A and B are shown apart, each in its own frame.
Chain A
Amino acid sequence: MAVGRVLVVVESVGGQALPASLELLTEARSIAGNVDAIAWGAGGAASLAGEVGGYGAARLFDVGDVGDSLPGPVVAGAISGIVASGDAPEVILIPTTYDCRDIAGRLSVKINRPVITNVIDLEAGDDGIRSVHSLFGGTQIATARFTGDKPWIFVVRAKSFAPLQSGGPAAEVIPVQPGDLDATGAATITSHHVESQTGPKLDEADVVVSGGRGLGTKEAYAMVEELAELLKGAAGASRAIVDAGWVPYARQVGQTGKTVKPTVYIACGISGATQHLVGMKGAKHIIAINKDQEAPIFSVADVGVVGDVHQVMPKLIEAIKALA
């Protein structure tokens, strides 16, 4: 094993660990002999002991219920307490989510260690761990490593590893405290707003149909939704049309949005900017419809249609309906 002990940050929703955290628990098993998890949640995280144990965590550090606080400073405080206690992990794996990126930043300063982010793979070697990164829209691959003292903090993108259960027993639950946070812990959530979404989740769907600025109008996004529904898939978007307010942010695919790996990704009126490509290049198959033959999206497409979305999509929708 490349390292002795890995700590995985486990974010959960409604008492269930996020897939991105389960992916990291799985990977942790192949780089370290001992795997621990740290989690928080309404009523405490002890209810996750079975799930994280089933993915290989021997111990679960329970930060407890963070209430209305943003988790970043609280969880980072708890991890730095573990590090200071002499029971320090050598590697800390953190998924790329809104809250977890905050944890990584806070923790980095608390324990005065750098972070390596946007990791898509980890390689265990004799001299420790190397991280793999996709650069410039996936045209180049960089390998990096830490040169300083442990613990090493890696922030890993979702879907970098396939989650696999270990069949291990429930993890031993160990309560931990965040310590004194002073003003850094002052941000509180006063309300939650859920923008409705139907059909399969974007990052779990087998088919993703995404629209971009080439649709021309917000109304034309209805074609994307209809095609997605016909294919029992989810509708996604480029950032250009999220910024324009045509669709909610939850639909965004790419560097700052979701990473998707469906069987088929259909890009409609999307140019294929590097920041979009990093979120969908992992699709098994890619279909692109774009009127500009030079659009970069064609460089990753299995089937590329040079044409107007307003011509091609209605016909495509009708043809699929006719088959049903």
Chain B
Amino acid sequence: MNIVVCVKQIPDPAAPPAIDEANGTLARSGKLVMDDSDSYGVEMALQLAEQAGGGEVTLVSMAPNGETSGLRTALAMGAAKAILVSDEALAGSDALATAKVLARAVGRVKPDLIVAATESTDGYTGTTPVQLAELLGFPSITFAKQISVSDGKLAVQRQTEVGYDEVECQLPAVVTVTAGVVEPRYPSFKGIMAAKSKPVDQLTLSDLGLDASEVGATGSGQEVLSVVDAPQRASGEIIVDDGEAHQRVVQFLQELKLV
């Protein structure tokens, strides 16, 4: 079974986020890392390929400046190869434009299954994978908390408001996974060394046959007008517990007539 995992490479979420003043988008010029949310998809894909007794896991990513650091992390976990789409004309792409790019890149692999995260950590639009599925003409099952594949059929436990539904569909299909579906493995030293020589196919827009007017800031049809500081909540009262701090909480609840 051949599986594609969409891997987004993002600015390190531990660092304070920076907004590009010129267009109100997230600054993506520094070093990028694999979005943690995608580590679950990578792990899931590796496990499904193992269970299927073979097949390759291919990573697909769109990122600026030929960035591969995040892809190397996923390759070190065990993925076989990667496709990176990087092109200056892609800057400012929204979710639909991103899905158009990913769809062309995925089309080169002809996978049985495409795995993505339910939403990314930085942009969290949450629609890209479904847009990708529609572009490819595939069914999709989002919010998977458990996945299995047998006889060309995908079976998923999909989160709902009250619990979960069992949902199934034929392959090829797109599935989005939530955090916690599986425990992502840590890359081994051997894995990290092996990742250095794994193939990363670097593509530009023209390789994909896409026109610059369909993607990037121009093709995106939306713009950020302003980003301003939110009004601060009035700072509250901080008490260090000396064994009696709970009394202050009780008093506060009494003031609100909740006890």
Listed in ascending order, the chain A residues whose CB lies under 8 Å from chain B are: 13, 70, 72-73, 76, 97-98, 101-102, 104-106, 108-110, 112-118, 130, 134-136, 138-149, 155, 182-195, 197, 206-207, 230-231, 239, 242-245, 248-250, 255-256, 263-264, 266, 281, 285-287, 289, 293, 298-308, 311-313, 315-316, 319-320, 323-324
- Are A113 and B221 in touch, CB under 8 angstroms? yes
Of residues 222 through 243 on chain B, the ones whose CB sits less than 8 Å from some CB of chain A are 222-230, 233, 235-241, 243
A sample of 13 cross-chain residue pairs with beta-carbon separation below 8 angstroms, ordered by A number, consists of: A97-B161, A102-B140, A108-B127, A108-B134, A113-B96, A114-B94, A141-B229, A146-B222, A186-B173, A189-B166, A249-B145, A303-B248, A315-B243
- How close is A33's CB to chain B, nearest CB, in angstroms? 24
CB-nearest residue of chain B to A18: B161
Neighbouring B residues of A98 by C-beta, 8 Å: 142-143, 158-161
Neighbouring B residues of A194 by C-beta, 8 Å: 162-163
A115-B95, A148-B222, A193-B165 given; A182·B137 CB < 8 A: yes
* B78 proximal to A (CB < 8 A): no
In the complex, A290→B230 CA distance in Å?
24
CB-nearest residue of chain B to A273: B13
Neighbouring B residues of A192 by C-beta, 8 Å: 160, 163, 165
Contact of A183 among B126, B138, B222 (CB under 8 A): B138
* B53 proximal to A (CB < 8 A): no
CB-nearest residue of chain B to A321: B259
Neighbouring A residues of B222 by C-beta, 8 Å: 114, 116, 144-148
CB-nearest residue of chain A to B252: A303
A118-B124, A192-B165 given; A320·B250 CB < 8 A: yes
- Are B139 and A305 in touch, CB under 8 angstroms? no
- Are B134 and A184 in touch, CB under 8 angstroms? yes
Neighbouring A residues of B253 by C-beta, 8 Å: 231, 264, 320
* B52 proximal to A (CB < 8 A): no
* B1 proximal to A (CB < 8 A): no
* B209 proximal to A (CB < 8 A): no
In the complex, A263→B233 CA distance in Å?
15
- Are A186 and B170 in touch, CB under 8 angstroms? yes
- Are B249 and A109 in touch, CB under 8 angstroms? no
Neighbouring B residues of A308 by C-beta, 8 Å: 241
- How close is A311's CB to chain B, nearest CB, in angstroms? 6
- Are B236 and A304 in touch, CB under 8 angstroms? yes
* B85 proximal to A (CB < 8 A): no
- How close is A273's CB to chain B, nearest CB, in angstroms? 10
Please tell me the number of chain B residues within 8 Å of chain A, measured between CB atoms: 79
A113-B221, A115-B96, A300-B233 given; A305·B249 CB < 8 A: yes
- Are A323 and B180 in touch, CB under 8 angstroms? no
- Are A195 and B162 in touch, CB under 8 angstroms? yes
Closest 9 CB pairs of A and B: A307-B241, A105-B130, A148-B221, A243-B180, A109-B134, A105-B127, A187-B169, A195-B163, A316-B246
- How close is B176's CB to chain A, nearest CB, in angstroms? 10
Neighbouring A residues of B238 by C-beta, 8 Å: 293, 298, 301, 304, 306
Of residues 131 through 173 on chain B, the ones whose CB sits less than 8 Å from some CB of chain A are 131, 133-135, 137-143, 145, 157-170, 173
Neighbouring A residues of B19 by C-beta, 8 Å: 140
* B58 proximal to A (CB < 8 A): no
A190-B167, A194-B162 given; A114·B95 CB < 8 A: yes
Neighbouring A residues of B66 by C-beta, 8 Å: none
- Are B246 and A256 in touch, CB under 8 angstroms? no
Neighbouring A residues of B160 by C-beta, 8 Å: 98, 192
* B118 proximal to A (CB < 8 A): yes
- Are A109 and B166 in touch, CB under 8 angstroms? no
- Are B236 and A303 in touch, CB under 8 angstroms? yes
* B125 proximal to A (CB < 8 A): yes
- Are B131 and A108 in touch, CB under 8 angstroms? yes
